[in-house]
A and B are shown apart, each in its own frame.
Chain A
Amino acid sequence: FPVAPEKEKEDMQFAKKYLENFYDFKEEKTLFKAKDLNQMSDKIREMQSFFGLEVNGELNPKTLDMMKQPRCGTPDVRS
């Protein structure tokens, strides 16, 4: 079924927090929404590659499900 808009927003927030915690994603407070989404897609690709998921930069159910697994709080990637 299509994801309800508020659920989609919620998932996006969750994913952003996850990527900040574990993949060194830094959301830039820029006006250019597109740039932000591209950077986030890059980080999603990095996370998908780490866990052996299909690497497409999309926040699909499998990727979200992996993000919601109980895990260690130490980052997977760090600067």
Chain B
Amino acid sequence: YSAFPHRPTWRKEDVTYRILNYTPDMLQADVEEAIARAFQVWSSVTPLRFTRLYGGQADIMISFAAGFHGDFYSFDGPGGTLAHAYPPGGGIGGDAHFDEDENWTKFTTYSGYNLFLVAAHELGHSLGLSHSNVFGALMYPIYMARDTRNFQLHQDDIDGIQALYGPPRESPALPTKAFPPQEPTEMAPAETPTEMSPREEPTEGTPSKPHQRPDDCDPHLSFDAITTLRGETLFFKDSYVWRKSPYFSDIEHDTIFSFWPSLIAGFDAAYEVDNKDRVLFFKDNQYWAVSGYSIESGFPKPIQNLGFPTSVRKIDAAVHDQNTKRTYFFVGNKYWSFNENTQSMERGYPRKIAADFQGISHPVDAALQKNGYFYFFHGSNQYEVDIKKKKLIRIMKSNSWFNC
């Protein structure tokens, strides 16, 4: 790998980008998906976070153009040069230009150039990487069509970008200790209701490898986010999703990627607005809306669009109350109530969680409404609450839904 002379980098972890125009070769939603996935390639191995802007000046301005397009490097018609990008800096610094004379595609056939692959390469430049002479590295200057479904960066690319920005931060979730493989245990009997136990402290012992496939019946299992979806219930952890369906007895265990290839894994929260057939996913200060497998165009959007103050950088959990048409967002020990009909935050919020949800007095990892009750997940426990009667009914293991 190599960097540009004087090693220019972004002096911050929050980098913005804006898509200035689109190629007529692809659906706008596919262009947005390709670009979002290309950013995720780099955010997954660095502390960088990318936020899409819809107006004004962003750090990385992305555009399609042919021939002469205002800088000193005119494009050359079909073939040859496909795109170029500038190292981090002001003005044109960081910008990425794609040659409109090429045929852009979301596929990896030979009838065109895969926009995701080229964009991931160009964004490497936008972040400060120059070319690599390692054949097979993403930053190798010559285009190589390859399968993009399970795209993995070459170690050379990872070494290069981490030489500039370092590795990703520890995941905010507490590292959990490794568990010796064990037989699925009998479900622990529901404990007598008490206050939520304080957040488990990380114990000694080697932390489990990040993103190792978690065991369904591990008694220490915790979740990042939980939502219903068209009658099913989805439990998210790192890049995995458990799918509990009323139609099948066993639990399906997949990768998030297999449902939504362009969605960033490691959600903070998720909820379904059932009467709109819409699920919203949250990560850091952005959110996406999906309907089934398809991601709605124009996402991700900043969570401030929902009415959060800029001081809120991420949310812990979210759940939609199908009876009241309110969605509750949990941040730290407080929560907000969002009116899905008026699409606005309700007045008088945030409020303390403990004031309205009996027995829930610590941060919530995930939340779910099922069979008229609310379930609040915290670490490896979940708290069943009847909010009408404001009563904590029982405490169970978080994965009690998996029929262990």
**What is A's interface to B at a CB cutoff of 8 Å?**
21-22, 50-52, 66, 68-74, 76, 78-79
Contacts and interface: CB of A to CB of B under 8 A. Distances in A.
Question: Which 10 residue pairs are nearest across A and B when measured between Cβ atoms?
Answer: A73-B84, A73-B81, A69-B142, A70-B143, A71-B142, A74-B84, A71-B141, A76-B131, A50-B133, A72-B141
A46 to B, nearest CB: 11
Q: For chain B, give the interface size range.
A: 20 to 34
Interface in B114-143: 118, 121-122, 125, 130-131, 133, 135, 141-143
24 contacts: A21-B73, A51-B133, A51-B142, A52-B135, A66-B142, A68-B79, A69-B142, A69-B143, A70-B79, A70-B80, A70-B81, A70-B102, A70-B113, A70-B142, A71-B80, A71-B143, A72-B85, A72-B121, A72-B125, A72-B131, A73-B82, A74-B131, A74-B141, A79-B5
A2 B84 CA distance: 36
Given A22-B141, A69-B142, A69-B143, A74 B85 contact: yes
Given A22-B141, A78-B5, A72 B83 contact: yes
Contacts, number: 61
Contacts of B75: 73
Contacts of B79: 68, 70
Interface string B1-15: 000110000000000
B118 to A, nearest CB: 8
Contact of B141 (A52, A68, A76): A76
A61 B110 CA distance: 23
A52 B133 contact: yes
A52 B142 CA distance: 13
User: Which of B75, B121, B131 neighbours the largest number of chain A CB atoms within 10 Å of its CB?
Assistant: B131
Q: Is chain A's interface secondary structure helix, strand, loop, or mixed overall?
A: loop
Contacts of A72: 81-85, 118, 121-122, 125, 131, 141, 143
Contacts of B83: 72-73
A63 B285 CA distance: 48
Contacts of A73: 73, 75, 81-84, 99
A24 B73 CA distance: 13
B133 A71 contact: no
B374 to A, nearest CB: 52
Interface string B90-124: 00000000010010000000000100001001100
B5 A71 contact: no
Given A51-B142, A70-B102, A71-B143, 14 more contacts: A21-B81, A52-B133, A66-B142, A71-B82, A71-B141, A72-B81, A72-B84, A73-B75, A73-B81, A73-B83, A74-B122, A74-B130, A78-B4, A78-B5
A78 B7 CA distance: 13
Contacts of A70: 79-82, 102, 113, 142-143
Contacts of A79: 5
B135 A71 contact: no
A52 B134 CA distance: 9
Contacts of B4: 78
Contacts of B84: 72-74
A15 to B, nearest CB: 13
Contacts of A21: 73, 81
A66 B121 CA distance: 19
Contact of B125 (A68, A69, A71, A74): A74
Contacts of B5: 78-79
Contacts of A69: 142-143
Contacts of B130: 74, 76, 78
